[in-house]
Copies of this chain bind each other. A is one copy, B any other.
Amino acid sequence: MTLTASSPTAAVLIIGDEILSGRTADTNLNTIARFLQALGIDLKEARTVGDVPAQIVGALNALRAAHDYVFTTGGIGPTHDDITADCVAEAFGVPLREHPEALAILGRRYGDDFNAARRRMARVPEGGTLIANPVSDAPGFQVENVFVMAGVPKIMTAMLEDVAPRLRTGSVVHSRTLRVVGVGEGAVAATLSDAAQAERRLSFGSYPFGAGSDGEMGANLVVRGRDEALLDEAVARLKAALAEIGVQTVEV
């Protein structure tokens, strides 16, 4: 898809052995993807790495150099396997320090139980600012273009509220979906390809459903773009072209 030059780009870095072992199914990527979509920010790639410093630092440095924003999830709790803050500090080449505001927040939450492990959660790379955690208080943090968030989905989602106002937004990408039922996507592929060739300012995708013997078969044809008038025209033309080859569609 052709994008306006001013659309910010982003990447997601998911950190945690539990994702790669299969113990936990990540849901944060989809939450962040939808969040960015609504802000007109183009999510370009995502990576998942284990609790391995070299992997985290390497991926973070690659992603923060290539994109306007990087969002990380996971590894900011109190236990020894929570090493994200250490790795972010290393990636930026800055010291990791106890952040006074984070210390105050955690001190209030834990009172007499504010032990050394919990104190780890106050450590922020120098120059970082806090990201509020309205669920369980322990903050995330931002260093330059990197937003470091919790892995627990409920907390991560809540942190996005504090992240949103800090982001430069782009023009939103709109989408229209034409659903084709009763024929496979191979039956509409040529028509869809012609439509894509004819209007290169939009993206045209095809997502089959119901493969196999059970249930109805078909495909969702998704057209995406920033210009809604252009989008509506292209969808109308595609719908007409499909009708010409005998394929009925429903806009969903």
Give the B-binding residues of A (Cβ under 8 A): 17-27, 29-30, 33-37, 43-51, 55, 59, 77-82, 110, 113, 115-118, 120-121, 135-136, 152, 154-155, 173, 175, 184-190, 192-193, 196-197, 203-209, 211-212, 222, 224
Q: Which residue of B lies closest to A46 (CB)?
A: B48
Q: Which residue of B lies closest to A55 (CB)?
A: B45
A224-B43 in contact (CB<8A): no
B135-A18 in contact (CB<8A): no
Contacts of A23 in B (CB 8 A): 175, 207, 222
This chain: copies in complex: 2
Contacts of A59 in B (CB 8 A): 45
Given contacts A77-B206, A115-B190, A154-B212, 8 further A-B contacts (CB under 8 A): A17-B224, A21-B43, A22-B33, A45-B59, A46-B47, A79-B189, A79-B193, A152-B211
Contacts of A186 in B (CB 8 A): 77-78, 110, 113, 115, 117-118, 121
B47-A20 in contact (CB<8A): no
